[in-house]
Amino acid sequence: MENTLSIIKPDGVKKNIIGKILNRFEDAGFEIINIKLINLTSEEAGKFYEMHQDKPFYPELIKFMTSGPCIPFVIRGKNAIKSVREIMGATNPEEANAGTIRFDFADSIDSNIIHGSDSVESAKREISFFFG
């Protein structure tokens, strides 16, 4: 069993598809074991994405992540880290497989609906970032 951290980003909350997104994971046999709705400050979003601070898209990313409430949640299940990334689809929705969350709902690479931890280490860091 593995735990991983996902976030419904502000575009997902604004599109009113919170339930649809959570359903994808529940239908795939995963459990949601913690969840909340929060408004990130620029400082918090900056810290969460600090590994991207030298990338050209970083300022836009922080602006986007603070543009409205988002929903961090913890997903638990077998192979959760890898499976959740598969259910999400590729970072760029134009490259995402049909039937993935980003293929179905995301508008663009910078407005791509959902986050998912990419490794055991980042899952650990990101879960404690939001849930202590």
Collapse the DSSP code of 23 into the 3-class scheme (helix H, G, I; strand E, B; otherwise coil) and give the result.
Answer: helix
Active-site residues, by number, are: 115
> Residue 77: helix, strand or coil by DSSP?
strand
Q: Which residues bind Mg ion (CB under 5 A)?
A: 118
Residue where the block lists tokens 């990101």: 126
24 contributes a contact to ligand IDP by CB under 6 A: no
Q: Which does 91 bind (CB under 5 to 8 A by kind): Mg ion, ligand IDP, none?
A: ligand IDP
- When binding is defined by CB under 6 A, the residue of 17, 104, 109, 125 that contacts ligand IDP is 109
Please tell me what DSSP assigns to residue 37: -
Residue from 75, 81, 112, 123 touching ligand IDP (CB under 6 A): that is: 112
The closest residue (CB) to Mg ion is 118
109 interface partner picked from ligand IDP, Mg ion, none, CB below 5 to 8 A per type? ligand IDP
> Can you tell me whether residue 12 is helix, strand or coil?
helix
What 3-state DSSP class applies to 86?
Answer: helix
Q: How far is the CB of 97 from ligand IDP (least distance, A)?
A: 13
Q: H-helix or E-strand containing 33?
A: strand 31-35
